[in-house]
Structure 1
Amino acid sequence: MIVDLDDLSSAADLLTRALDLPEDAAEAGMLAGRLAAPPAGRPVTRLTADDGTGLVFASINDADPRLGHVELLAVRPEVRRRGVGAALLRAAEERLADLGAERVRLGGNPPCYAWPGIDVRYTPAVCLARRAGYRLTDTAWNMTADLTLRSAEAARDEARLEATGVKVLPAGGDTPDWVRSIWGDGWAWEVEQSLDRGGAGCYVAVRDGEILGFAAYGANRPSWFGPMGTAPAAEGLGVGRVLLRRCLADQRAGGLTTAQIGWAGPIGFYSKAVAARLERIFWIYTKAL
């Protein structure tokens, strides 16, 4: 039987057992807590099998109330292929329909999310999506930055910026409002999280008191970088490279050897700036209810 999930500590334990990829299992507790604290006003539903063998987190899109997201579905390995995942997915679809959803996406509901979609290495999840009538509608990817690599250009780029009057500083409380004015509420929310959470941070590039760009890390997951943006008037100055490297340096100092650039783009920029490589590929599935 599928029931409401009330105990997040049990969710963290289940995810640790159910997430097959080590990079996900290592952040299992944080993932459960992150998805349990979305932006204010977001309708959510959290369900579990009453025997504790699986769970599902789902929510309504912040911008489109007719779109639901199944953000996380996990089943313990020893009971897979017994219908637990299918039952959880059906229950989530019913709850989302009750909340007004007309279609459901198997993927992240930004700005608060665990993954963009289904990592293609989670083969049972891909099989479940196909059996349940979902169709592949989009592809997303992460890039991996090797934090053990040091850029010979980093110090030179920072010095060049400073020579033009641009300083890179830790972000202040006014940064979310500035981000909101250009990129909207989603990125502003992520910046707010990066300022309030341990293992997270945000930097800004400033000239004559004017913010020219920002970069954040750890807003949703400690090992993930982003979002990052440069004001249109500052494009071409090289602000992004310096901000990116500052954030990655913090993550390296925190003990990480790699960082994930989540939902990455543009690929060429990250490849050139920090030798990041395409690695995690996510398939996003959608179904009309």
Structure 2
Amino acid sequence: MDAKITVTELTLDLLPAVVRLCERALDLPEDATEAGPVVDALWPRAAANRPVVGLGAYRGAELVGVLLCSVSSSDPGLGHVDLVAVLPEQRRQGVGRTLLARAERVLAEQGAAEVLLAGNPPYYAWPGIDVRYTPAVCAALALGYQQDRTAWNMTADLSYDGSPALRSTEAAEQRLADQGVTVRRAEPVDLPALEAFARSTFSGTWDGELAESVGRSPEAGCHLAERDGELLGFAAYGSSRPSWFGPMGTAPAAEGSGIGGVLLRRCLRDQRATGLDRAQIGWVGPVPFYSGSAGARIERVFFLYRRTLPA
């Protein structure tokens, strides 16, 4: 490869070209299949929430690599690299390193003192670098990034009628109804109350993820539990990509009531109805809950990296 790598800032008219490159560059089938929704979430949709920059690496006129980066919506001193994709035949030739180095400069110019190779909720594709993307791990280490956390996703099998993930919730819903608890699908009119509940009860950016799940598309949705107009819990899916479940939360006073398992499986049945044979439960905390309630298993493991930028 004799042509020099040049990096330029991408404009939204190049969105289709970025998606096509990601479809070729993302090695895992589940990532390549959903390249369109992933790029859409990380770029045009995320730009309404935080500063986002797309970078393209070219050899001559050919786009050979892309990077999407953003500033944290909660901490302007943190920059995030949200996606890096390099064509297979162009790997180990400096493309990824060149893109990462340029992204660091861009993020520093926007006020970031530290850069994370980690998801930037509420719009994120992965918690970090999947351990199976070896070239990306090598590039991060070569540029001085330090691993500081590990995260994982769990998979719920939706491919057959007897799957634990699709187990009936009818009896549990009747038991909850006897206690005055109503479980139903959330509608757009419920969104302000859901967002307020998420902000007041849980930390993080779940309110933003809920806004992307309720009423946005047929492949996204949310279910809630309430008693006398008081929210007790919610579960959502499809905020960043159709196959992902989450976020989900239950009020502390309602923990152990069975609400969580009901909401989870209602969402998973919805996802199966869209044609999915598996759902990814992203950035999982309570592994035993998802294993017991839906037979989910840990399948994807991610390394999260960070690097302090030179002053």
Q: 2:200, 2:41 → 1: CA distance?
A: 25
Partner in structure 2 of residue 108 of structure 1: 119
Stretch deviating more after TM superposition (5-14 or 154-163): 154-163
Partner in structure 1 of residue 290 of structure 2: 270
Map 1:16-35 onto structure 2 (within 5 A).
Answer: 16-35=23-42
Helix, strand or coil at the partner of 1:52: strand
Map 1:84-163 onto structure 2 (within 5 A).
Answer: 84-147=95-158, 148=160, 149-150=163-164, 152=167, 154-163=169-178
Give the letter aligned to residue 147 of structure 2: L
Map 1:33-112 onto structure 2 (within 5 A).
Answer: 33-36=40-43, 37-38=45-46, 40-50=48-58, 51-112=62-123
Q: Is 1:14 aligned with 2:24?
A: no
Q: Is the alpha carbon distance of 1:201 and 1:153 closer, same or farther for their aligned partners in structure 2, counting shifts above 3 Å? A: closer
Partner in structure 2 of residue 218 of structure 1: 238
Q: 2:75, 2:66 → 1: CA distance?
A: 25
CA-to-aligned-CA distance 1:65-94 (integer Å, 9 cap, x gap): 111111100000011111111111111011
Helix, strand or coil at the partner of 1:9: helix
Q: CA RMSD in A?
A: 1.4
Helix, strand or coil at the partner of 1:176: helix
**Structure 1 position 103, deviation (Å):** 1.3
Q: 2:19, 2:33 → 1: CA distance?
A: 10
**Structure 1 position 207, deviation (Å):** 1.3
**Structure 1 position 223, deviation (Å):** 0.3
Helix, strand or coil at the partner of 1:236: coil
**Structure 1 position 11, deviation (Å):** 0.7
Give the letter aligned to residue 94 of structure 1: R
Q: 1:30, 1:196 → 2: CA distance?
A: 16
Q: 1:68, 1:196 → 2: CA distance?
A: 30
Partner of residue 5 from structure 1, selected from 1, 10, 13? 10
Q: 2:168, 2:89 → 1: CA distance?
A: 50
Q: 2:222, 2:295 → 1: CA distance?
A: 21
Q: 2:172, 2:144 → 1: CA distance?
A: 50
Q: 1:173, 1:65 → 2: CA distance?
A: 27
Q: Is 1:280 aligned with 2:291?
A: no
Q: Please, which runs of 5 or more residues in structure 2 have no aligned partner?
A: 1-5
Contact in 2 for aligned 1:39/1:189 (Cα 8 Å)? no
Contact in 1 for aligned 2:149/2:303 (Cα 8 Å)? yes
**Structure 1 position 158, deviation (Å):** 1.8
Partner of residue 191 from structure 2, selected from 165, 169, 173? 173
Contact in 1 for aligned 2:169/2:266 (Cα 8 Å)? no
Q: 1:83, 1:177 → 2: CA distance?
A: 46
Q: Runs of at least 4 residues of structure 1 off by over 3 A?
A: 150-153
CA-to-aligned-CA distance 1:21-40 (integer Å, 9 cap, x gap): 00000000111110111163
Q: Is the alpha carbon distance of 1:35 and 1:252 closer, same or farther for their aligned partners in structure 2, counting shifts above 3 Å? A: same
Contact in 2 for aligned 1:195/1:202 (Cα 8 Å)? yes
Contact in 1 for aligned 2:191/2:210 (Cα 8 Å)? no
**Structure 1 position 234, deviation (Å):** 1.4
**Structure 1 position 176, deviation (Å):** 2.1
**Structure 1 position 178, deviation (Å):** 2.6
TM-score by length of 2: 0.90
Helix, strand or coil at the partner of 1:38: helix
Contact in 1 for aligned 2:244/2:280 (Cα 8 Å)? yes
Give the letter aligned to residue 189 of structure 1: G
Aligned length: 289
**Structure 1 position 152, deviation (Å):** 4.9
Q: 2:22, 2:287 → 1: CA distance?
A: 31
Q: 2:167, 2:251 → 1: CA distance?
A: 26
Contact in 2 for aligned 1:39/1:112 (Cα 8 Å)? no
Contact in 2 for aligned 1:217/1:225 (Cα 8 Å)? yes
Partner in structure 2 of residue 164 of structure 1: 179
